[in-house]
Each structure stands twice: as structure tokens, then as C-alpha cells.
Amino acid sequence: MAILRRAHFFVSLVGIALLCPVMAPRASAQGATVERLAWKRIIKVDNSGQGDYAKIQDAIDAVPSNNVDPVFIRVEPGVYKEKITVPSDKPFITLSGWKANATIITWDDSGDIFKSPTVSVLASDFVGRYLTIQNTYGSGAKAVALRVAGDRAAFYACRILSYQDTLLDESGRHFYSNCYIEGATDFVCGNAASLFKKCHLHSTSENKGAITAQHRMTAEENTGFYFVGGKITGVKSCTLGRPWGPFSRVVFAQTYMSSVVLPQGWDDWGRPSTHRTVYYGEYECYGPGAERRARVEWSRSLTTQEALPFMTSNMIDGSNWLKF
């Protein structure tokens, strides 16, 4: 019996360790980031009624405005049909499910890309983990699943699903790790500076739909989408991207590309003037869709020296804020 009690105690400690990181960010009165040893507050959301709240938005609303302490919102498995906003005055929130395919946030709005998202993250220092975030509206209109407009946002092992404009990666510095992102048209779009590490992009396009629509407007902006070590699959055919902004910047490095990627690789959206200004690069990609012999001449086959700056978190100043 004593052995069983010790085992139970050990399991409890492991569970606490999984919830509480060794170090978590905290803002000082001067706004600088310092370190803290534990979560200030843990909130449980359970739509069966067994948690602190039954709705995710209610848990977010319970975080005080101008929050300066790390808050962990644990979402129990279930389907949460609600539209969620993390407002800009509530930073340092972690929203975590248990498994992405068991913790589902869903809505079905369409139209305006800033109003249709199922989840809108406007706050800085946000972390999302083990969640499915989906917009089930379908084809025919813009229907964003996830909008990310806060700075220093990170997503781990999330599933982000829609048809058009799935992920509005609007602005700020962001990190996506081991995420699954699905859509048909411009399904990773916006003007953030974002590193996508080991992410799976799945195109549901039936005819040449673009994966990315990056919105960099000037050569001076330090923004772009950088995909490293992931894979691209799909149902029929797609291109890697098209220029929402004239200085659009997208790099794929060490990425598996299935045959759904068309030989030309990239699309100019009917704007040949962007051929001189976009930065579309590929480095050590592989698979049947990675063959570059028929690529558009205004895309780039990067050297190791050219590619390396895009392959680490330095492009998003990650060493200063990424904690996992």
C-alpha cells in the first residue's frame, strides 16, 4: 500500500510538472520581460460543467485587464462551439487542450477576414497548445479559423482548419511547431514574421490554389513566412504562394513536397511587376513536388548561406521570448 501511495504521489508531481514550466514569462512594471518560476493562476474549462468555467471565452474574460502574470487555461476534451477573442490587454495567457483532435474550438462565420475568425489572438505573449481551431463555413467566402495579431505568439501541435484564409497570420512575431494547417486558397496569409517548424500543410484546392499569401509591402519590413522541416500534401494541385503584398517573402527549407505542388511552384496573382520584388526561396526541399526545373524564374534556389538566416528563430528574435 505504501508503494502505491508513493506511485500516486509521483504521478501527481508529473502532472503538475506538465502544467507548470520551469520558467514562465512575466512583465515587470517597466514592461521588460523577466522570469517567474510558476503559473500565477490555473483555470479549468470543461463544457460538461466540471470546471471553473464551461466556456473558453468566460475563462479569458476572468483574466484581469492589463494582466502581468502567466495564466494557464486548461481546456478539457470536448467540442466548444464559440467564437473567442483574446483581447490586447490580456497578455501572458496559455490556452491548452490535452490532444488536438479531442479539444475542438469551432465556428462557421464568413466574410470579413477580421470579423470571421473562430479564434482571434490580439494579445502579446500568447501560447496555444493541443487545440483544433476550425471554421466550418466551407467554400465561397473568406472564412478565417485563427487570426493572430499579437506579438510573441506560439502554437504547439495545433490543428487549424478552414477553406479560404484559414490562418490570418496578421502581424507580430510568431512560432508554429508541429501544427497541421489545412485550406484551399491563401490559407496562410498576413504580414507577420513567422517560423513554421515541422508543420504539415494540407491543400484541399481542386485547381491551383495558393498555400501562402504573404503581405509584406516594402523591402524594409522584417516580415515573412519561413517553413522548415515540414511537409506539403493535398488532394489535387496547388502553388506555394502568391504575392498579397509586392514584397511578399516566403521560404521553404528542407520541406517534403508531394506531387500536388505544381511544377511552376509559385503564382504572381496576375501582377508581373512583383517578379522583381518578391522573395520566394526554396532550400533542400524534396519529394516529387520539389523539382525545380520548371519553377518560375523569379523564384530562388537558395544556397546554404542564404537559407540559414531563415531557418532559426533568430528571424523572430525567438531567443528573447520562446520558452519551449
**Domain holding 112: CATH number?**
2.160.20.10
Residue 26 resides in a domain: no
Do 118 and 83 form a contact (C-beta atoms < 8 A)?
yes
User: Which of 26-40, 244-258, 282-296 is least confident?
Assistant: 26-40
Q: Distance (Å, rounded) from C-alpha 70 to C-alpha 91?
A: 8
List the grid coordinates of 220.
Answer: 524594409
Q: Distance (Å, rounded) from C-alpha 113 to C-alpha 7?
A: 50
pLDDT score at 117: 98
Provide the pLDDT confidence category of residue 322 given band limits of 50, 70 and 90: very high
Q: Distance (Å, rounded) from C-alpha 141 to C-alpha 258?
A: 27
Provide the pLDDT confidence category of residue 324 given band limits of 50, 70 and 90: low
Residue 56 resides in a domain: yes
Residue 280 resides in a domain: yes
pLDDT digits (tens, 9 = 90+) for 175-231: 999 999 999 999 999 999 999 999 999 999 999 999 999 999 999 999 999 999 999
Provide the pLDDT confidence category of residue 40 given band limits of 50, 70 and 90: confident
Q: Distance (Å, rounded) from C-alpha 285 to C-alpha 295?
A: 13
Number of domains in the chain: 1
Residue 172 resides in a domain: yes
pLDDT digits (tens, 9 = 90+) for 58-106: 999 999 999 999 999 999 999 999 999 999 999 999 999 999 999 999 9
pLDDT score at 20: 40
Range of the domain at 182: 39-320
Residue 23 resides in a domain: no
Q: Mean pLDDT, the chain, as a whole number?
A: 90
Annotated catalytic residues are 165, 186
Provide the pLDDT confidence category of residue 39 given band limits of 50, 70 and 90: confident
Per the document, the length of the chain is: 324
User: Which of 28-32, 62-66, 240-244 is least confident?
Assistant: 28-32
Residue 284 resides in a domain: yes
Residue 197 resides in a domain: yes
Residue 151 resides in a domain: yes
What's the alpha-carbon Rg for the chain, to the nearest Å?
20
Do 269 and 242 form a contact (C-beta atoms < 8 A)?
yes
Provide the pLDDT confidence category of residue 323 given band limits of 50, 70 and 90: confident
Statement: residue 36 has pLDDT above 60: no
List the grid coordinates of 245.
Answer: 503584398
- Cβ-count burial of 19 within 10 angstroms (0-12 exposed, 13-18 middle, 19+ buried)? middle
Do 231 and 258 form a contact (C-beta atoms < 8 A)?
yes
